[in-house]
Structure 1
Amino acid sequence: MMSFFKALVLTVFAAGSAAAAEQESIAYGKALVEANCARCHAVGTADASRHAAAPAFRTLSERYPLGALEEALGEGISTGHPDMPEFIATPAQIEAIIAYIGSLQTR
């Protein structure tokens, strides 16, 4: 009986740690897109893009699978709207940005 309880406690602890890590990743992604993308793109849940050709991040999954965005970030996004600057992210930044974008997607 005690080993079942220990396993249950460890499972709950692991789930809590994973959830905390996911929230930390989302917060890091949010900081990255606010610093690098918000001058053109809507990066929040209800804001409008400042650049007409820049899609709101909350609608990106309607245009692209998030996996495609992950690949584009890894290769360095150099297209998009005509005056979009090239952006190359590290693997940790890519993971965080995708986590944040995923957290925003309209359902």
Structure 2
Amino acid sequence: MSFAILMIVSPAMAASPSEQRGKTFALNNCAQCHSIDRVTQSPLKVAPPFRTLHLRYPVQDLAEALAEGIDTGHPTMPAFQLDPD
């Protein structure tokens, strides 16, 4: 006799407060141009999906870059400078 096991994939554990703040920030400030999820294309074709940023930039440097201010020189990319906290 064989048994089929059904696994229900549930969403990951609830996001931490800092993860939720980051997601909210990305939804409000980035998602108009960049894909911020795991599968969709960016609404603006020249804007890289967030899931590929590690291919262009060292991830460990992104926090510092965001705190110092990101200014890409790209006319449609706004400059950002965030509080380190």
TM-score range, shorter chain: 0.7 to 0.9
Residue 36 of structure 1, CA deviation: 0.6
What is the deviation of 1:79?
0.5
Q: How well do the aligned residues superpose, as a CA RMSD in angstroms?
A: 2.0
Runs of 4+ in 1 over 2 A off after TM superposition: none
Taking only the aligned residue pairs, the percentage that are identical comes to 47
Separation in 2, partners of 1:52, 1:46: 14
TM-score when scaled to structure 1?
A: 0.59
Gaps of 5+ in 1: 1-18, 93-107
**2:23 is aligned with 1:54:** no
The alpha carbon displacement at 1:80 in A equals 6.0
Structure 2: give runs of 5+ residues left out of the alignment.
1-12
Which structure is higher in helix share? 1
* Length-normalised TM-score, structure 2: 0.73
Are 2:30 and 1:25 aligned? no
Kindly provide the amino acid, as one letter, of the partner of residue 71 in structure 1. Answer: E
